[in-house]
Structure formats: C-alpha cells, structure tokens
Structure 1
Amino acid sequence: MLSRKRLTLAASALLLTVSITFVSFRTDDRFFEIARNLDIYATLFKELNMYYVDEINPNRMVKTSIDAMLKALDPYTNFYAEDEIEDYMTMTTGRYNGIGALIGTRQGKSIVMMVYEGTPAEKAGLQLGDEILKVDGVDVKTRREMDPGKLLRGQNGTAVKLTVNRYGQKAPLELSVMRDVVKMTNVPYYGMITDEVGYIDLKDFTSTASREVRNAFTELKSKGMKKLILDVRENPGGLLNMSIDIANIFIPKDSEVVTTKGKVTEWNKTYNALYPAMDTEMPLVVLTNSRSASAAEIVSGVIQDYDRGVLIGQRTYGKGLVQTTRELSFNTKLKITTAKYYIPSGRCIQAIDYSHRNPDGSVGKIPDSLKTAFKTRNGRVVYDGGGVTPDVATEAPTPTPIALSLNNKGLIFDYAVKYHHEHPTIKPAREFRLTDAEYQDFTKWLKDKEYDYTTQVEKDLGSLEASAKKEKYFDLIQDQIKALKNKVSHSKDADLMTFKSEIKTLLEQEIAGHYYLQKGMKETSFTTDPEVKAALDLFKDMNRYQALLKSKN
C-alpha cells in the first residue's frame, strides 16, 4: 500500500491533470462537465485520504466507485481490475491453468462439487464429495478470504499436493495433481437419443464453440442422425462471431445473421454467414429457457426468423446488447456496451426494461402496446420487446418446497456421495434407476438430517391471518384459518412420498453424475426432461412440425 504522503502526491498530480483538462475543454459544454466532475472526484479522494479516521485502500475505493458508476448504466458494462484479468480470459477463452475441478464451500468446508472429464483432477482420482483440507500443505481454512478454486490454479506443468477427506476413509488421502491447461468445453454432451434423433448440449460461446458444435454434428450424422435437438438452455452467451458461425451450420452462405447498431456509426455492421451450410434440410428443434441469453438468443432467433427449425421451451432472457472490450491503463479492461443487435426479421430481442426481472431471470409479461410485430421468412408473426418467444411453449419447472430444501441443504449431493461409496458400479446412466427399497433407504437416512421449508400455501395463510388481524376480521374467521392450517400443515414424511417422483429424479441424476460426471447427469435426465420429451413427440409428428413453420395468415 502506498504511504499517505505518496497517496497525497498522487492525488495532487491527478488534480493537476484534471485542472489542465478542465481549462482545455471549457469551451465545450460536454467536456466541461466531464472535467468539472473529475475535478470534484479527485478533490474528494484527496480529502478522504488526508482526513478519514482510518487508513483507506485506494485500489478498493476506486474499484468500488467505478463499479457503482457502471451499475447505473446496464448490467453488462464491467470494469476488470488487474487481478481479475485471469478470470476475464477464462470467461472468453474457456481456458485456464489448473486441475479441472469445481470447488464449492459448504458449512465452512471446501468440497469437490464436480470433476471435469479428461482433466488432471479426474486422472489423479479426485472424486465428487472429497473435502479439500490442504493445498501444498497449507490449511485452506486459513485462506478464507480466497476462492478455494484459485488455490488450485498455477503454472502449467507444476504439481499441486492435495490433502483430502473422503467419505468412508478413516484417514485423509494425499493426492498429487499435475496442473495443465484446462479447457472448459462449450459442448459438455452430445449423443444419439433415439436411432435417428441426435442431441447437442451447447452451454457456452467461447472461442472454440463453433468447432465443437461442428465436430459433434459431423459425428452424430455419421451415426445415422436424421433429426437434431440443439439445447441452448442455461446458456449465457459469449462471443458474437461464434453465434454467427454456429447459425451458419444450418443456414446458407451469405445469409444475413445479425446487424449491430450503436453510437459509433463506423462500428455498425451486418454479419452474414461466411461458409456453405452443413445442413439446411434436417429437421431441427432448439430448446430455450429464460436463461438462454445473448449469443444463444442470436442462434435461436436466426433459426426462427428463417423458419429453419422449431423452438421449444420458454421465452429467452432478452439480452440484445453487444459488448466491446477496451484496453485501459495498468493492464485493466473495460467491457462496454457499444451497440444493440438485430436479427434477420429486423427485431431486437433486448428486454425493454432489463433492470427489473422475475426471480428466474425472465423479463415477465410485456404489454402488447410496447411490442412491435415482425415477420419470419415464411410470414409468421414474431415480436420484439424481450427475448425470443418459442414456437412451442412449455412450463418452466417449479421445484416443490421439499425438493428445493433437500437440494439447497446439499442432502441430495451428500446421499449421492454415500451411495457412490457403497456401490462400486451402477448401470449405464440411461438405464440407471433407484429401486423403491433404495428410495426408502434415502428417507431413513434423512431422519436425523436438518431441513425444513415453508410451502407457498402456508405463506399465503400467514399473510391472510396477518391481514385479518390488521383489519379486525380475525375473530370472525380464526376457526376457519386454524382448520386450514391443520389441513395444509406439511409433514416431511408425507411430502417425501407425495413428491417421490420429483425427488427420485433428482437423486438419480446426482448419483449418475458421481459415476459418469456431466455426461451421466445429462443422459439420466432424458426420460423426464419436459422439453426433450416435447421435441421427441414433435419429431414423431412431422406434419405438425411443418405446420408450425408455415404462416398462419
């Protein structure tokens, strides 16, 4: 940290620079206001440094002020300090030097939540549920201020020694893991769901996304794929050029994909498909939900605008803004929103009000008066104003309170750790199912576990009782309220049976993940996934598929 004297000199220098700027641009009202406010900021910072009762951290103070300033603009304009550049590079490239494990903190413990396939962590034998005690002999509990995952990163080719607690082991284990370049895949899973239906799960748009999708498409076609499900649910987006290349897989060369328009008119540009399409005829379904954003919305929107495939799921997130990264001094960066993007029909899918969203991230209902109608190539009417609306809408899953509680408390995960220890092998993920006896074992295991929840009905009854007391009606209806409370008061044992199907599905997916990692979790989900089931049903009725792509006018 700089001394107080050096900080004062630095602030004075900044003040001098700003004062010069102040004079230079006084003739221009806009620059005058900028210089004026920078002058105020520099003066304020100087006074804080000189007289505030405690020592201040200049880096933290400035970072806080910058973040607050950018927050007033939109959620996507961000500043990256020098010590955050590695995270920024990982976000854009999907690469980092480490071991390939996701570490989470639960009840003060650092737990391995996922091990990625083909990474040093998997090769060294690290397992889901392992508690990391030490990294290179350093107790992780003494480094609480640091993300445990960052302790595992380091120079490529160096070894990191882990001390871990494993379920069922009496003594801690020592594991040596050789760090390597870890590439987080954009396509964590692809495969054939039926003899003729292929499935590609696209979870990101980093710099290798297009290549991964193309490779998956080619391999699935060689296995007899005649129809494709492209899943962009939970995909936050990423690089614009990757969305263009992936859309190009399904639409002809030279087709318009996206147009960007912003303040700097020289940057406005229309992007077309650069290559011959891999397939323009294969029946295609794209799965979307409220967390499909940005580049994922470009791909799904382009498919819809060209009537190239059918969208199934929920309305997408509504992020139609383009960000550009600008280099700043001292190895810092600014990711700044510079334009809006428009898909071929001419619509912008940016949510009209992106500062207010539903808890699930969706933009909520948009008044018809605020929407503008556009048309697809076949003349189907589509709208702007907030995301891409699917052609076949499905209900977003709403977990029951008991399932949500079991998941949030980590009890589904913990039981999977126990199950994995007690069962060396299981059937392939697509075939794995818990027996009724095994589910009963789970309910018995829960007996001494802490978890509770309040159902929505119980919350509503509480609100009714409070309103009745406030408005002096309680005496009149207290017997009815008491009777309703007794009737809807939840019983954990009863709920475990009532919602057995949902809880059992969660258990099966989690357990499969402990044996087969991400691929196992995905394959176990196919029989219960509502959007996948809707897509398979649609592919069985190709007359309906074709009708959905035709104009209703």
Structure 2
Amino acid sequence: MKKIKIAIIAGAVAISGFVSFGFVDNYFELSKNLDIFATLYKEVNTYYVDETKPGELMKTGIDAMLKSLDPYTNFIPESQIEDFKFMTTGQYGGIGALIHKDGDHVVISEPYEGFPAYNADLKAGDILIEVDGKKVSGKSTSEISEALKGQPNTVVKLLIERPGTKGNLNIDLTRKEIKIDDVPYAGMLNEKVGYIRLTSFTQTASKQVIDALNKLKKEHNAQSIVFDLRGNGGGLLNESINIVNAFVPKGTMVVQTKGKISEWDATYRTLNAPVDTEIPVVVLVDDHSASASEIVSGSLQDLDRAVIVGDRTFGKGLVQQTRRLSYNAQLKVTVAKYYIPSGRCIQKIDYAHRDKDGDAPIVADSLIVPYKTLVNKRTVYDGKGINPDIKVEERDASNITAVLVTKYHIFDYATQYRLNHESIAPASEFHLTDKEYDDFIAYLSDKNITYETETEKQLKKLKEVATKEKYFQLADEEYKSLEDKLVLDKSGDLMKFKDEIKEILENEIISRYYFQKGRIQASLNNDPTVSKAIEILGNKEIYTGILKGTYTKN
C-alpha cells in the first residue's frame, strides 16, 4: 500500500509540474539568481580594494534593478518611511515652511499659515544660519529639511539672519504635526462661477473638495464650477473615485484595474450619494496632471459629465501598491494598469518594450485606439494621457523671466518690498505701478541677469559649421552685425516682457502678505486657461455643444 501511495503522490507532482512548468522554471530562475547575487555581494564586500558601505551598495543595486522596470517601482528604506507617509497623508512633524538654496544660503521660501514657522513670525527671505547649533552653510536643502523635521512637541532652535535687521535672531520653535491642505484655495471667479484648486490626493482630498463644493454652492450660490487639477501629480486611487462621486450618481463605474495576477483585477464604483449631478463643471489640466488627476478628468470626460480644458495630461495609467519588507522597509511596486469608463488606458510610455539602449518608447500613433464616451458617444483615445476637449497651451516664460526667477532676483526684490511696505491692497486688487516696476529695473542694475537665447545658440552653431566648412570668412562682417543687433535687442527684454515679469513679481509680493492662498487668487486674474473656462461656462450652448460633440469653433 505504501508503494501505491507513493506512486500516486509522485504522479500528482508530475501532473502539477506539467501544468505549472512555467512557474517551477521561473522559481528555479529566481532561486539561482538570488544565490548568484548573494555570493557576488559577499565577495565584493570581502575583497574589493577599498572599504565598502554594504548598506549603500545594496541600495544602489536595488535602485538600479527597479529602475529597469519603471520610475514608479521604488525601494523605500526605513529611513525614508516618514517622507513616503507624507506623500499619502500630507502629514509630517516639523515647523511648516518651504525652503530653498540660494548660493551658499538656505532660505525660507514661505511659511505655511497657522503652523509653527508662521506663528513664530518667520518670514520668506529669512536666511538659516544654524539649526540646533549646527552650521547650515554647505548643507543641502534635503539635509536641512531633515534637521527641521522631527516628532511633534519637540523643540528646534534656529539662528537666522533677516534682511534689513541688524544682528542675528534666535528663534525656538516647537514642532507640530503639519498637514498640508489638498485644497489650498477655493473661491468665486465671478458672481456665478466657483473655483476649486486641488494640488494632491492624500487621505483628506475628497473631503476637502466636497466641503469646498458645498460651501461655494450654499454660501456663494455658485452655479458652475472650475475644478483645477493643473500640476497635480496624483496620489490615492480611492480619493479620485470619491471626488468623481461628488458629480455622478452612486453606483457609477469610475475605473477598473487589471494586473498580472487576479488579486489586482478590480472594478471601482461610486459608493455615496453625489453632491450635485447637474452643476456644469470645467476641469483644468496640463502636462503635469497625472495618475489620480487623470482618473478624475478622464472619467468625467468619458461619462460626459465635465468639459476638460487645458493641455494634454502626463499619461500615467499605472497603479502602485506598497509591500512590506524586512527591517521596516517597503517596496512600492506597479501592480496593475487602470482603465477609465470608456475602456481606455491612457498610459503613454511602454516600459515593457525598451529599445537596445534601455529607453522606454512612447506609444506609437499607429497603436492609438479610439473609444466612445458613455452617454454622447464622442470619440476619445487611449495612450498619451487625456486630451482636453478644448486645448489652451501653457504660456512659455521668456528667457529673461526664467533668469529672474531661477536666480531669485524676483524673490529677493519681494523680500525688500515687504520690508518697505507694511501692507498692500487685497490679493485680487494689488498691482505694481509703472514707477515701482522702474524701481525693480534699477534694483537689477548690479545683478547678474546674463542669459543666452535660443537664437544666440543657433547663431553660434552656424558659426561653428561655417568655420569648419571654411565659409565663415565670407560672412564675417554680416555675422558680427547680426550678433550686435541681437545683443542690443536683448538689452530691452525687461521692457519687452514687462507684463509677464510684472505678473510674476506681483504674485511673489502678494505671497509675502497673503501667502499661498493670495498667490493663487492673484494668479487667476491673468490666467488664459481660467478665462477660457469662464467663457465656456458662461455660454450654455457652447458648454452643452462640447459635451455632445456638436460644438465647432468659429
């Protein structure tokens, strides 16, 4: 009997091996390569000519391995868990302030209203000299940020230099739990149109959106909504579903996920009663709107529930999940692709088919597939993100503006302006006078604002090619004349791009008095995408025509 039993078991194993031979083969490959990696790691650490740092060496190997998959599959060591939690919760222990590096200095960019830095009267432009007695000079912003963070109710001692003030200031701050609002601003654009800006999808995103929507409707009688997702890189999947739920009936399918294993195959429907299924909605997007932002904008487009305005979105149709590892580390791994109501996946980059150089290609136009929206049967497409119903291209900053921003000339002038002006007009009304703009130009007289235009770069290339082919000497004088004209023309860029520079300068100054809310409020005044949204919502025929696919631009 024992022999028969053994034979049956062996037969079962043989059948199992036949059925799942691929699994067994793959398991052998995993075991073999893990053994190779472990022995290689041991040999390198033992025999390499210089001292190695085993932890750093291992993390480098892990990071390189995961990088070959996609940018979203990451190893999170225990030391970085708090930063990862901040991405999902928006919470951390700290002082509540943005910082940046300017030369050798680490500078306060902006304190968050209501948090320790703000309450202790730290100001934008304050220079950090010491943190807990340790010199800041020579440290990176990430190192200083780490030093400023800590457990709530612990004290951090700062030594700061404040422009316009003699001597350094000692400030003791008690860290608190910092929670950054997902909705930093909501208000009325005019008597009828409400506006909601959503910057992240943490655990409180849907509640803040719904609260803002209810407030705009009840307290301001908003009759339509501009929902701004520009620059929003995404976050939690469930929050995107709950936000869509505010505008569509309970039980509506918002998104499906499909992975390699059935565990990640799921259909997500709205679970709650909506706030308003009739109010006209325009969603604003750009090329930095990604992931959860694309689920919201894409599903509202597929359901013919909102008009999408702006620029084509980023194109991230992948879903990540965290897996616990040894020693409190975690793995954030891509487990599925998501599909919005029309059935399309908007993933732009094909990480599974890299070329010989290891680069992942963008989905080819020939592979783009048309789909239909669920109600009005408009044609929409998969791949390459969400294409807006009405396209409004982002304004590119001029070279001179980019230099003034990146070299912190605008930031530093705003600091000086705040020292000389106790108060300014409300954020929506404040404007610099022409004389004040002239003062700004005078302020720049001894500052480095040199830059090279694209025209100058191309002119240099022309000279290089012409010299190489021995033609340059034939046009030497003409080249010099053209070069002089371009330099002369560039010298007038501060006036040529006055409106653009002035707008950014005003917003920076406004932020010194009214912080992030004021900056957002002021920026809406001259925003062409917002203006287009207001125009669409102000004309019912255009709004419904876009949703029905019958609108044609004159």
* Common topology (TM > 0.5): yes
Provide the residue aligned with 2:431 in structure 1. 433
Q: 1:381 and 2:379 equivalent?
A: yes
Cα distance in structure 1, aligned partners of 2:63 and 2:488: 44
What does the per-residue CA deviation read over 1:484-523, in whole Å, with 9 as the maximum and x for residues that have no partner? 3222225554110101011001100111011111011111
What does the per-residue CA deviation read over 1:310-354, in whole Å, with 9 as the maximum and x for residues that have no partner? 111100000000001000000000000000000001110110446
Does the 8 Å contact 1:455/1:490 carry over to 2? no
The one-letter code of the counterpart of 2:486 is V
Deviation, 1:173, is 1.4
Cα distance in structure 2, aligned partners of 1:355 and 1:439: 53
Which residues in structure 2 correspond to 1:111-190 (within 5 Å)? Answer: 111-141=107-137, 147-190=143-186
Q: TM-score, normalised to structure 2's length?
A: 0.91
The one-letter code of the counterpart of 2:282 is V
Cα distance in structure 1, aligned partners of 2:191 and 2:24: 69
Provide the residue aligned with 1:110 in structure 2. 106
Provide the residue aligned with 1:35 in structure 2. 31
Deviation, 1:54, is 1.6
Equivalent of 1:510 in 483, 508, 511: 508
The count of aligned residue pairs is: 523
Does the 8 Å contact 2:188/2:216 carry over to 1? yes
Equivalent of 1:494 in 477, 492, 495: 492
Deviation, 1:142, is 6.9
Provide the residue aligned with 2:251 in structure 1. 254
CA spacing shift, 1:354–1:546, aligned 2, 3 Å:
farther
What does the per-residue CA deviation read over 1:169-190, in whole Å, with 9 as the maximum and x for residues that have no partner? 0111122222111001111111
Cα distance in structure 1, aligned partners of 2:405 and 2:312: 26
Provide the residue aligned with 2:330 in structure 1. 333
CA spacing shift, 1:389–1:440, aligned 2, 3 Å:
same
Does the 8 Å contact 2:295/2:340 carry over to 1? yes
Which residues in structure 2 correspond to 1:24-63 (within 5 Å)? Answer: 28-63=24-59
Query: 228-237 or 475-484, which moves further after superposition?
Result: 475-484
Q: Report the 3-state secondary structure (helix = DSSP H, G, I; strand = E; otherwise coil) of the residue aligned with 1:28.
A: helix
Query: 134-143 or 229-238, which moves further after superposition?
Result: 134-143
The one-letter code of the counterpart of 1:252 is P
CA spacing shift, 1:143–1:500, aligned 2, 3 Å:
closer
Cα distance in structure 2, aligned partners of 1:424 and 1:492: 35
Provide the residue aligned with 1:191 in structure 2. 187
Deviation, 1:470, is 3.0
Which residues in structure 2 correspond to 1:49-448 (within 5 Å)? Answer: 49-141=45-137, 147-222=143-218, 223-353=220-350, 367-377=364-374, 378-448=376-446
**5+ long unaligned stretches in structure 2:** 1-20, 354-359
CA spacing shift, 1:364–1:336, aligned 2, 3 Å:
closer
CA spacing shift, 1:407–1:142, aligned 2, 3 Å:
closer
Does the 8 Å contact 1:373/1:381 carry over to 2? yes
Deviation, 1:145, is 9.0
CA spacing shift, 1:258–1:139, aligned 2, 3 Å:
same
Cα distance in structure 2, aligned partners of 1:490 and 1:549: 50
The one-letter code of the counterpart of 1:519 is K
Cα distance in structure 1, aligned partners of 2:254 and 2:23: 44
Cα distance in structure 2, aligned partners of 1:173 and 1:159: 16
Does the 8 Å contact 1:26/1:32 carry over to 2? no
Deviation, 1:551, is 3.0
Deviation, 1:213, is 0.4
Deviation, 1:479, is 4.0
Deviation, 1:117, is 1.5
Q: Report the 3-state secondary structure (helix = DSSP H, G, I; strand = E; otherwise coil) of the residue aligned with 1:259.
A: strand
Q: Report the 3-state secondary structure (helix = DSSP H, G, I; strand = E; otherwise coil) of the residue aligned with 1:330.
A: helix
Q: 1:461 and 2:462 equivalent?
A: no
Q: Report the 3-state secondary structure (helix = DSSP H, G, I; strand = E; otherwise coil) of the residue aligned with 1:527.
A: helix
Does the 8 Å contact 1:314/1:396 carry over to 2? yes
Query: 332-341 or 481-490, which moves further after superposition?
Result: 481-490
**5+ long unaligned stretches in structure 1:** 1-24, 357-362
CA spacing shift, 1:340–1:370, aligned 2, 3 Å:
same
Cα distance in structure 2, aligned partners of 1:280 and 1:126: 44
The one-letter code of the counterpart of 2:74 is N
What does the per-residue CA deviation read over 1:102-122, in whole Å, with 9 as the maximum and x for residues that have no partner? 122221211001111211111
CA spacing shift, 1:191–1:364, aligned 2, 3 Å:
farther
Cα distance in structure 1, aligned partners of 2:515 and 2:233: 22
Cα distance in structure 2, aligned partners of 1:364 and 1:380: 28
Does the 8 Å contact 2:282/2:308 carry over to 1? yes
Q: TM-score, normalised to structure 1's length?
A: 0.91
Cα distance in structure 2, aligned partners of 1:440 and 1:144: 35
Query: 395-404 or 456-465, which moves further after superposition?
Result: 456-465
Q: Report the 3-state secondary structure (helix = DSSP H, G, I; strand = E; otherwise coil) of the residue aligned with 1:338.
A: strand
Cα distance in structure 2, aligned partners of 1:103 and 1:365: 35
Cα distance in structure 2, aligned partners of 1:462 and 1:521: 40
The one-letter code of the counterpart of 2:505 is L
What percentage of aligned pairs have identical amino acids?
A: 49
The one-letter code of the counterpart of 1:322 is V
Q: Report the 3-state secondary structure (helix = DSSP H, G, I; strand = E; otherwise coil) of the residue aligned with 1:399.
A: coil
Does the 8 Å contact 1:380/1:552 carry over to 2? no
Cα distance in structure 2, aligned partners of 1:173 and 1:470: 60
Cα distance in structure 2, aligned partners of 1:272 and 1:165: 54
